[in-house]
Amino acid sequence: MIASCKKDEEQLTPSGIDDTYKVPQGNNAFDQTIVSYYKAYGTYMLYKFSEKDVYWTPTGFKKPVATNGTWSSGAEVEQSDPAYVAAQLALIKSKWFDFYTDKFLKQFLPVKIMLCKKVDSVFTTYVFTPVYTASKGTKKVAAFYNYDNIQVNYGDATVSSMTTAEQRAFIYKVNLIFMQSIFARGLCAPTSDFASSADYMSNVTTLAQAYSRGIIMGTSNISAQSDWNAYITAMVTYSTPQLNASVANTDSTPAGMLNTTKDTAGQIKRRYNIVRNYFISEYGVDLQLIGNATRGL
């Protein structure tokens, strides 16, 4: 089995940019935990940072801005309150890091993890009366990704009062964002046996046709890479019972993808096992356990 999953440090070190960070950032007991993570994974966990640290990319700043009332996508963040960083680190460990092996984290964690007390996703919303007007909308999220960093929420008093539902939502969001950051950085290509196990050259016009080939990404611009990403995403966001439920083959979500209603030829289950077993064999990580945890299983 051949694959090209790797951590590409060059991609994360643009020339001419001061990207040197230092830990510890203080003398708190939790600073030693942060130092230990840096030594293990080469990742800076920062509770003191600048806007440049969060928003800079090679194509410009990605801080949300308004143009004629329409807001660009992104997140607004604030640094964690040091009084709650220890609890936030414990949350990150139990609901994120503990799902993975050291090998996986060393390979795939981004350069920076921003410890925040606020991570608000920004979007454009509209007021219809008395005048149709575009305005700013925000929504608290557990995590957000930008270029070389992941911004993580709950660095405030709310970390100590999270409900079970909020903890499951945290598992869902932070692990989904982690996977999306891996995809965006181009760090994990499909294995050769996965890429060769479906026909991506012929046109696909319906979801039923795609499912019969073992393709779950949809019907537009199909590719082995996008499909590989879709399988990974399904595992970390849907539980085993959800994947095995009977769902109509006109449904485009991963729900029911392992049931014969969608998987009429058994191709989805076969390719699901290729992806799942690859990460178990190569990294000792069962991605499906994450999707199960989002539903309390």
| Pair 211, 268: CB distance under 8 Å | yes
pLDDT at 281 over 60: yes
**Mean pLDDT across 63-67:** 93
Least confident window among 132-136, 147-151, 195-199, 282-286: 132-136
Domain locations along the chain: 11-163, 192-293
Whether 152 contacts 110, CB under 8 Å? no
Residue 136 in 3-state DSSP?
strand
Predicted TM-score (pTM) of the model is 0.92
- pLDDT single digits (tens) 161-190: 999 999 999 999 999 999 999 999 999 999
C-alpha to C-alpha distance for 123 and 142, rounded to whole angstroms: 16
What is residue 198's DSSP assignment? S
Q: Is the pLDDT score of 7 beyond 70?
A: no
Q: pLDDT tens digits for 103-119?
A: 999 999 999 999 999 99
The structure tokens listed for 292 are 């199960």
- Judge whether 222 and 214 are in contact, CB under 8 Å: no
| pLDDT average, residue stretch 248-254 | 98
Q: Flag whether pLDDT at 1 surpasses 50.
A: no
Q: Do residues 144 and 184 lie in contact, with contact meaning Cβ atoms separated by under 8 Å?
A: no
- Among 111, 97, 114, CA closest to 46: 114
Residue 101 Cα to chain centre, angstroms: 17
Report the share of the chain in percent with pLDDT over 90: 89
pLDDT band at 20 (very low <50, low <70, confident <90, very high): confident
| 244-265 mean pLDDT | 98
Paired with 225 in beta bridges are none
The least confident of 16-25, 55-64, 86-95 is 16-25
Residue 40 clears pLDDT 60, i.e. is over it:
yes
pLDDT of residue 5: 61
Q: Is residue 147 within 8 Å of 186, Cβ to Cβ?
A: no
